[in-house]
Amino acid sequence: MDTSTVLPGQPISVPRGPAPQLGEGLYSSKGQIRSSLVGVPVYDGPSLSVSRPRPLPHPPAPNSVVLGHVTRLSPQHASVAITVVDGVPLPPGEEFTGLIRAQDVRATEKDKVKIGDCFRGGDVVKGIVISLGDARSYYITTARNDLGVIFATSEAGATMEPVSWLEMRCPKTGKIEKRKCAKPEGL
């Protein structure tokens, strides 16, 4: 069976044998099976369908919304392994490196920011790319209310919940830990 991309209205060749059941993305017109969407024909035993191709991930660009996890901390910045760019997950094993500099953590009191009070290793962070940085990394900002830590695990291993824009609480122990929290969507 041909596995090249088909366009809407394009006829699809069918393997010899009994007529397949038509699945998603197909219709029959004048005895001919045709695609109703852009995709790749998939023949799975008794049924035939058209599978939409997944969007290809693109590298971060200025103003891209990115998600990633904190891999390393220093007094000047947090290193982030970027795994989602503009809502599109990167393929497994592929990631970009981002840096959140102390001056890019929040919009006010930039000189009082302590990276260790804002992020911990393993935290999942939502940010916006502000520039391409150097050859190895992208500069990311979390200086908006909806940006910052969106998922963190406490020392007790529980998923922490935000209690303010700069604190999260462990539901198991009740212990408060400092973070630069992203305001939950819908609040």
The architecture of the domain spanning 65-178 is Beta Barrel (2.40)
Domain ranges, ordered by start, for the chain: 1-53, 65-178
Specify whether the CB–CB gap between 85 and 60 falls below 8 A.
yes
Specify whether the CB–CB gap between 90 and 67 falls below 8 A.
no
Structure tokens at 35: 């695609």
Confidence at residue 91, expressed as pLDDT on a 0 to 100 scale: 84
Angle in degrees, CA 26, 32, 36, rounded to 5 = 25
Q: Which residues have a Cβ under 8 Å from the Cβ of 89 and sit 6 or more positions away?
A: 57, 83
Domains 1-53 and 65-178 share a fold: yes
| CATH code for the structural domain at 1-53 | 2.40.50.100
Angle in degrees, CA 177, 158, 168, rounded to 5 = 25
Specify whether the CB–CB gap between 66 and 122 falls below 8 A.
no
Express each pLDDT in 97-136 by its tens digit: 999 999 999 877 777 889 989 999 999 999 999 998 777 7
Express each pLDDT in 148-174 by its tens digit: 999 999 888 899 999 888 899 999 999
Between CA 41 and CA 3 the distance in angstroms is: 6
Residue 137 has pLDDT above 90, yes or no: no
End-to-end CA distance of the chain: 51
